[in-house]
Structure 1
Amino acid sequence: MSQQHTGGGRMPLLMLNMFIAMLGIGLIIPVLPEYLREFGAGGSTAGYLIAAFGITQFLCSPIFGEMSDKYGRKWMIVTGLALFTISNLIFATADHIAMLYVSRFVGGVGAAAMIPSMLAYVADITTEENRGKGLGRIGAAMSFGFVIGPGAGGFLAELGLRAPFYVSASVGVFAVLCTMFFVPESLPMESRLAARASTVKRDFIWVQIAKSFKAQYFILLVLVFTLNFGLLNFEAIFPMFVDEKYSYTVREISLIITIGAGAGTLIQLFYMGKLIDRFGEQLLIKATLLLSAVTLVLMLLSGNFYYVLLLTTFFLTLTSIMRPAINTLLSKSAGNEQGFVAGMNNAYMSLGNIFGPAAAGTLYNLHLNGPYLLGAVVLLFSLFLAMSRAGRGSQTTNVKLGG
């Protein structure tokens, strides 16, 4: 198969970029409780600070998705990586809590520029038949960075609370340079010129969200939201939860999340294509929704280290399978507007990134178990939606979420 159909040597660099982006999101989680104590802030602030990232990500995702159709994927990816680097530098040098919010807002803009462009890039360089494998690899890098960030942050924090952010910024500079010099543009010039010449004006984000309610792939966008709601709901309070309820140390927390991340990544790298071929995206999505909800409830029953390690690994593996399965169906439904649909994908993802940690921080102050119970309810409701749509007609049977 040709390099254009498989992604060739470009895929490892894309995976590195996605890993770095998601690493920056999760890096702050294990050090956040102690870091916030320097600013006199508490648990609810932790949730809101993580949610701040999703606000600008949500507002800017459709804008950058459209820009990637007009001006190419490469420079949107470079822009996103550069903003991630700036975000981490601001966080590392902050001397007031307002600077922490500024850092997360800047990071959200970076995610909006990079993530939809990255997903569209994969669609550009793969065939529809091979797209699931390509998105599975990108999803592996995304999930690995998303959940190994807390582990890496915990270990680096032993060098100092601000060390994780300086390291992340340094790696970000490296990724920017690699992308500039070694990643070619994937979108042909004629496609970019046609997008620029188009007189069709896209609506504001709220109008687009409203219109997406009637789209044939709307249920998939809901699942993007619930996946990120559940994952960020879990991650935002995990260190504080196991610290207060089970007296875990930072090293134990880092070890749990790192092992869970590794397991999920291995599944995505080596078995995602086989799982899709064997079971199909629809069955995988439904099964992972159910099992993820059950796992969140089981997390409340015991503080035994190995019990929590097993359940955390299982939960992170399930979400690692769910993400590329959803992204594959969305990409198949996008047609010639990969950038735009990827932008909507990122918008719904950022909504989950907003409401998941915000709800977790608020409920955590009311009851320790509240965030995980809410996460389980949200995932079960998503399963109900998926099952209720089973058998209904769709313009494209390949993207219908049902039997």
Structure 2
Amino acid sequence: MQTNLADFIKNTPEGKVADEILRNCVHCGFCTATCPTYQLTGDELDGPRGRIYQIKQLLEGMNATPQMQLHLDRCLTCRSCETTCPSGVQYGHLADIGRHEIEKQLGRPPLETFKRETLRRLMLNRSVFEHSYRLAQALRPLLPQALRGKVMAKKAAGQVPQAVHGRKMVMLEGCVQPGMSPNINNATLRVLDKLGIQLLRPQNAGCCGAVNLHMSVQEKSLNDMRRNIDAWWPLLEAGAEAVLINASGCGATVKEYGRHLRHDPQYADKAARISAAAKDIVEILAGEAAHIRTKMKTDAPPQTLAYHPPCTLQHGQQLKGSVEALFAELGMTVLLPQDAHLCCGSAGTYSFFQPELSQQLRDNKLGRLNALKPDVVLSANIGCIAHLGSGTATPVMHWIEYLDALM
């Protein structure tokens, strides 16, 4: 695609990235076939090709419009289009640039700004979030249906192992996962402990940066990344094998620290190493299958397991099929629903700001999962787990929790 970027962005780092991405797009339209929002609305402007064209117009000098903002807001950034694209267009990076520029030009109405800023601050203050979430769980039966669906039922978190092992890895705990479903992190700690691996959890780490990034607060997002690098770097230098991440949305972000900070002379090299060291938990356990089998119970009743692969795992991290392969090595089968490549509609804060589209996508996904008649639905990202769980009586959990129960 030919480009003629406007002077305000042409020679900036963002402009150079955008120009390269736009030039790679041949406007073939293959991406529309796998775009969840295009499938719902049938509007070309709600598909990757249409959004790319709008971003191109914006970066070539057209003034941002509320319509542009609407169509980019409706994008889930699921990156299914990237998996489909024969030209390797990095749509997700372009969408971040487009959203940021529209935000600079248009801003938001006061009420919407208040809602977004309140949610952003709540999610990023772990202590306040956890106390608020516990209160919401206690009051859950009394909440309106719309709010009740946002609050997961409370369940026991289980014990935290205290053993010290020679093998060590750093674990990203996440900003909302410990409050929403603390058993995910504790189950991760227990499984790795049984395999002789100690997980280090530095207290000065925090959000991976995704919350600020996807709400177009880019400099704060970069500061989140720098803070985590400062927290993890000494541990990697001391011999920690990897940065282990059990929320695929966080993993997709951490694996791109090197790209986000490539122009930062102080952090560029460290960020690249952190990205290389970042591993989703399935990447760690894939090499431990034989060891895991020796720890598994032999009397566990057979169950039908359905699996929803999060977009951030199969498209963002390009780890499609990884969890299914691990379970197969462990002698279990996980069933995939029809259209497993499509988003469930959670997508971070998307379910708050695009509730109608989000619920449609959730209901479509649950319909296909329920067709498998599962005893349990497994996934690999807290947002997907909470979102799917809000619409079904079937237990929905992280696959590491299920594995932990078998060991």
* TM-score normalised according to structure 1 size: 0.25
* TM-score normalised according to structure 2 size: 0.25
Higher relative contact order (CA 8 A, sep 6+): 1
Structure number with higher strand proportion: 2
Give the number of the structure whose alpha-carbon radius of gyration is greater.
2
Structure number with higher helix proportion: 1
